[in-house]
Amino acid sequence: MSGDPNPSKDHLMDTSGARRPHKGAVLDDGASSVTSDSLTVLHKKFHFPNALVATVPKRSDRASHPPPGYLVVYETHLRAGLRFPPPPELTDIVARSGVSIAQFSYRAMSMMIGLIGLFRDRGVVLTPECLSKMGRFISDTQGRLTFRSKWLDIRTRDHLKSWASAFFFVKNDWGLTERWGKLTDLPAPLHIGEEDIMRILKVPDIEHLLYEVRYLGRYIEEEFLFKVGLSIHAGRSEAKMLKKSTKAPELPASAPVPVPKVAPKRPVGGGDPQSLKKKRTEGVATSADKAPSSSSPARMRIPEDVLNHQCIGRRHVDDLLLRRKVLEAELTHSLNEWNNEFVKVKYLQGEYKRRYDSRTKEVRVLEEELSECRTELANIVHSVSLQNQQIDRLQVDLDEEQTVITQLRKDQKTAAETVGKLEAENKRSRTLLAEKEAALSDLESSRIVEDFKKSIAFKSIIQDHV
């Protein structure tokens, strides 16, 4: 089991995939295997501060439910470079993510500490915005976090088994989240790009950046952590360099076994010291003259087959090393080309995505305008239909009025004919009347005279006249 509960085969996984929901269940929620002795060893090995309060969990304690005021720390976190007190960058990112340190896998913790050390080594501070641009945290079904990056070749793995049971409690003096929480994505600003990351880290191109972050193991070593201020102990940086060991030449089988020198015993008698020293010197010279000539390392005979075998093996090793270098160069070149193509593809994907988003916004605006036009057109059609209905009613009324006018014209024509007839009849009547009046006037005058003659007045007049 590695530090990552679900390691992926693809080290360059895209972050566009959906994150699986956190169910809050921890499958390996068992008792801790840390004892007081092992905690003491960890205290000395990883240089805990004297003010740090670390306790051994009880048999009933679980990693998902730490005591109030305490954090759960795994031994794999210490191997991943976590030191106390934790760096401010880590506390800021953990607080922004809404999770606990206990949810970090070896990969996530080593990535965090390595990137913090890399940024500090370049004189800058790792911010959540830069981290979100370089990759993102992924939560699995157990709630543990790993780190995925789409354009950095980062290889980190913890090969220690049963790491999930090696945990202990540390007093929370930094205000971090103690219980397991749901992962919140870090903000991904659009104004920070790969060129900004390379400019911040002071690297000329993406190949140098990939080289810097390809193996983060060197950034979590004790010496480097002390160099960038993540550890209070320098580790082995103050140790003196040992001399290179040399291999002693082998003696042939016929050579005598050398006898270790023994300090000469001091003579009991009171001899002359100068004479004793002279005798010892002469004895050493005599033994050197009597030594066989074959014991000299310069005159040792090495068999020809041994020399040939060693030369062949050396050449074979040189060929293998040369082939390895060539293969490494080819693989590095291929990997760089693949990374360049991958970066280009991701850039094109982002460019097309931006274009697609802009076109989508334009289409959305056009759809809204089209919807407004449709609404306006529907209103116009409704008003036109009302006007058409009104026009139809007016047309019906007009037809009725036209019919009435036609009937009135017919009646008027009939009345005109009737008036003509009446006028003709009136004219005839007038003619007859005139004729009758003329006849009547004649008749009336004679009749009036007769009547006047018959009247009393006439008689009176006549009488008076008579």
What was the pLDDT predicted at 279?
A: 52
Q: Which of 236, 231, 208 is nearest to 220 (CA)?
A: 231
Q: Is 146 helix (H, G, I), strand (E, B) or coil?
A: strand
Q: Select the highest-mean-pLDDT range: 142-146, 266-270, 383-387, 434-438.
A: 383-387
Residue 5 is predicted with a pLDDT of 41
Predicted local distance difference test score (pLDDT) of residue 410:
92
Q: Above pLDDT 90, what percent of the chain?
A: 25
- The reported pLDDT for the residue numbered 337 is 86
> How confident is the model over 185-189, as a mean pLDDT?
79
Give residues with Cβ within 8 angstroms of 40, minimum separation 6.
Answer: none
* Cβ atoms 140, 28 nearer than 8 A: no
- The helix or strand, by DSSP H or E, that contains position 178, with its residue range, turns out to be none
Tokens in use for 254? 């016929």
Mean pLDDT of the chain: 76
Peptide bond into 264 cis (omega under 30): no
- When pLDDT is averaged across residues 224-252 and rounded to a whole number, the result is 55
pLDDT at position 90 over 90: yes
CA distances from 275 to 281, 287, 341, 425 (A): 10, 19, 87, 203
49 three-state secondary structure: coil
Per-residue pLDDT reduced to its tens digit, 201-219: 888 888 888 777 777 778 8
- Residue 238: what residue type? E
Interatomic CA distance for residues 123 and 200, integer angstroms: 9
Residue 462 has pLDDT above 60, yes or no: yes
142 class by beta-carbon count within 10 Å (0-12 exposed, 13-18 middle, 19+ buried): buried
Place of tokens 């080819």: 330
Considering the entire predicted model, what is its pTM? 0.47
Residue 334 CA to its chain's centroid (Å): 27
| pLDDT tens track for 239-276 | 333 333 333 333 344 444 444 444 444 444 444 555 55
Q: What is the mean pLDDT of residues 149-159?
A: 62
| Residue 401 scores a pLDDT above 80 | yes
